[in-house]
Amino acid sequence: MTYAIEIATSTPRAGRRFEPIQERELHQDALAAVQGLPGAARGLIVVPEFAGPLGIPDFTAYVGDIDRIRRRHRLDVDPVVNELESGIVSAAYSKRPSSSRDIAHALGWPVETVAERLRGLVRRGALIETSSGKYVRPESLEPSGRLYAVEAKVNDWRSALRQVRTYRVWADSYVLIMGPLTTRARAAVTAEVRRDRGGLVIEGHWVDRPRLGYTTARRRIQAAELFAAATREGLGRPPLALRVHA
């Protein structure tokens, strides 16, 4: 089943009591745009003001198999959101057991650092210790789909660009939603976003759709775990159409 849902905000921004009219209109552009993300027909989840590993975009869109998120919800393991622990989990495999030395070598970390965290991860169920003293990762802890950070700005494209670039630490790509721009500003922001492999929407129309970036495995797991935690309650409800006003 393929559908799009919008889940209530995970972390409201302090002091935001109301939105200016122009910003509300851009948020409608954002909700319309995410439905045109690559692969969105397979499944789409949109979370306003999701608190990612770094920063809080206006919207974060998950594109992919929604049942994979549900399987993570059913796994009785607390979210792995610590960066060190996310790194260790990312270096383990679900089918091929790895030793603490294997994991440390893959990460380029001291064996002692990895060994200290392994015990806690096994106790929590985030890793499983095999009879040979090696470790595997539960299949449901494999990151699924793609995460896109979506930010809307009325006119200050330079500030907007600085902001969306921080999300590349953990998001697979970003989408910048802009209002009307001068010809010169439009050309400048388009060139910068293309260099980043990001997505750009101006006045409700796609200029460029995002391409995948180069997020590290540990940041992907950290972001996926935070996103799964943010959507646990919302995915328990029936799916709803995205609320986009005409």
Bridge partners, residue 177, by sequence: 152, 201
CA atoms of 181 and 191, how far apart (whole Å):
14
| Residue 46 and residue 37 in contact, taking contact as beta carbons nearer than 8 Å | no
Of 241, 211, 191, 234, the residue nearest 69 (C-alpha): 234
Which pLDDT score, from 0 to 100, does residue 241 have? Answer: 52
pLDDT of residue 8: 59
β-strand pairing of 4-6 with 44-48: parallel
For residue 202, list its beta bridge partners. 178, 205
The rounded distance, in Å, linking the Cα atoms of 122 and 44 is 32
Q: How far apart are CA 92 and CA 100, in angstroms?
A: 9
b/e burial code for range 75-109 (CB count within 10 A of at least 16 → b): eeeebbeeebbbbbbbbbeeeebbebebbbebbeb
- The reported pLDDT for the residue numbered 135 is 95
Q: Digits of tens for pLDDT over the chain (246 positions)? A: 445 566 655 554 544 544 555 667 788 888 889 998 988 988 899 998 899 999 999 999 999 998 899 999 999 999 998 989 999 999 999 889 999 999 999 999 999 999 989 999 999 999 999 988 899 999 888 888 999 999 998 878 999 999 999 999 999 999 999 999 999 999 999 999 999 999 999 999 999 999 987 888 889 999 999 999 888 877 766 555 555 443
166: burial class by Cβ within 10 Å (0-12, 13-18, 19+)? middle
Quote the CA–CA distance of 95 and 139 in Å, as a whole number: 8
Q: What is the DSSP secondary-structure string of 38-78?
A: TTGGG-EEEEET---SS---SEEEEES-HHHHHHHHHS---
Hey, is 239 helix, strand or coil?
A: coil
Any idea which residue has 């122009």 for tokens? 22
pLDDT at position 242: 53
Q: What is the pLDDT of residue 192?
A: 96
List, in order of start, the domains of the chain with CATH numbers: 4-13+22-71+145-236 (3.40.1350), 77-137 (1.10.10.10)
For 108-168, give the DSSP string: T--HHHHHHHHHHHHHHTSSEE-TTS-EE--GGGS--SEEEEEEEESS-HHHHHHHHHHHT
Is residue 67 within 8 A of residue 1, CB to CB? The reply is: no
Residue 208 CA to residue 121 CA, distance in Å, equals: 41
Q: Which amino acid is at 202?
A: I
Rounded CA separation 6/4 (Å) = 7
